[in-house]
Amino acid sequence: MKRCVIAGVFSILAHLGAMPAVAAEGPLLAVAIDPDSLYTPGKMRLTFELTPAGRLAGPYHLRVTIYVAQNAVRDQTLTIAKGQTASYELSFPRMHETTQARYRVELSRAGEFLEASEGPIGLWPPRDLPPVAQHRAKVWVLDTSGALQSLLPEFGVTAADAGFQAIRDFGHPDVIFVGEYLDGTSMQILTERIAAAPGRLVVVLLRQRQFHKDIDVVIDKKPDPCSPAVPEPNSVLLRSLSGRDVMRLLNDANAVEIRRYPDRSIDSHLTAPGDAQNVRSYLCTVKEANRVILFCQLSTVARQDPRQMMLLHNIVQFACDQVGPADPNEPARSERGKP
């Protein structure tokens, strides 16, 4: 009997020894960076905090290293304790071209290395985007936030504020830029204007939560977080944006779902998996009848984010290019979006 018990105990111990180690509770260190892409000269800040998984008493030590073009330009050690935060700031000089930097932070305690975390920092030259060729297009803006009204002049575009009835009563636009998260009343005004357009009309709809039923496009409000997005190679809308830039812009973005019809042409520049009946996209144009509608579900109006400003510049130029040069002596741009 004793032999059986002893044999059973050794069997259990051997089984436990063969079991995989219990999975870690998660990272010990939370890292926040603000901003992670900036115009230079400019300053960024890293903020550190121990997570609940860091149960041992401190102090803990952080070794922060900043790399630019694979060269370490800063290396500093900080101290942090439970319930406290530590921060690190660095000013970058003017860059003459877009440069990828990285940060790496190593966490240790009592001389023992615990874990490391790293991430990218996008360094851009001072904002100097070329002015948009408006081609004498008559441009309206419908944006209750006022963001587009202040940004478009920075791109060299003159636009009328269609939020005022007096503007809507006077003539017809060639291009309408629609701001983010338009309210229901303004969406109704937009739908009526689209229906009443006497000629070709280009509409740019920035990030929205819902559309009027007459637009016949819906937003995928239950996206699969593992669903990949496929960018169109050499897209004029994503020009000068790296893959990392596009991935960052995709954060918290919901795709639009557009039903295919024989008389509807859909051109997606950033496509999510769809099916035979529908196209799912974060950035696309829909052409039907006498109108072109550009749907952009990515963030585009943060003035201090160079990725968003580059994307918005590309969108504005694309929309004006759809109207085309009004003056036969004005040369057309050599790079155009697909119809």
The Cβ of residue 308 has, within 10 Å, a number of other Cβ atoms equal to 21
Give the pLDDT band (50/70/90) at residue 216.
Answer: confident
CATH number assigned to the domain covering 29-124: 2.60.40.2550
Query: If you average pLDDT over residues 171-191, what whole number do you get?
Result: 91
Q: Among the CATH numbers 3.30.1490, 1.10.3470, 3.90.550, 3.40.50, which is that of 139-323? A: 3.40.50
Backbone phi and psi for residue 46, each to the nearest 5 degrees, phi listed first: -105, 130
Position with higher pLDDT, 51 vs 198:
51
pLDDT tens-digit map of 221-268? 776 666 789 999 999 999 999 999 999 999 889 999 999 989 899 999
Q: Which residues are paired to 321 by β-bridges?
A: none
Q: Please check the confidence at residue 210 and state whether its pLDDT lies above 70.
A: yes
The whole-chain average pLDDT of the chain stands at 86
Q: Please check the confidence at residue 43 and state whether its pLDDT lies above 80.
A: yes
* Alpha carbon 202 to chain centroid, angstroms: 23
Position with higher pLDDT, 174 vs 199:
174
DSSP element (H, E) containing 217: strand 217-219
Cα–Cα distance measured from residue 56 to residue 196, given in angstroms and rounded to the nearest whole number: 68
The pTM score is 0.83
On whether the CB atoms of residues 326 and 136 are closer than 8 A, the answer is yes
Per domain, the residue ranges of the chain are 29-124, 139-323
Query: If you average pLDDT over residues 271-296, what whole number do you get?
Result: 91
Q: Which residues are paired to 268 by β-bridges?
A: 284
Q: Please check the confidence at residue 25 and state whether its pLDDT lies above 90.
A: no
Cα–Cα distance measured from residue 338 to residue 8, given in angstroms and rounded to the nearest whole number: 73
Tokens of 22: 């219990």
Query: If you average pLDDT over residues 296-316, what whole number do you get?
Result: 96
Burial 157-184 (b: 16+ CB within 10 A, else e): bebbebbeeebbeeeebbbbbbbbebee
Burial 82-101 (b: 16+ CB within 10 A, else e): eeeebebebebeebeebeeb
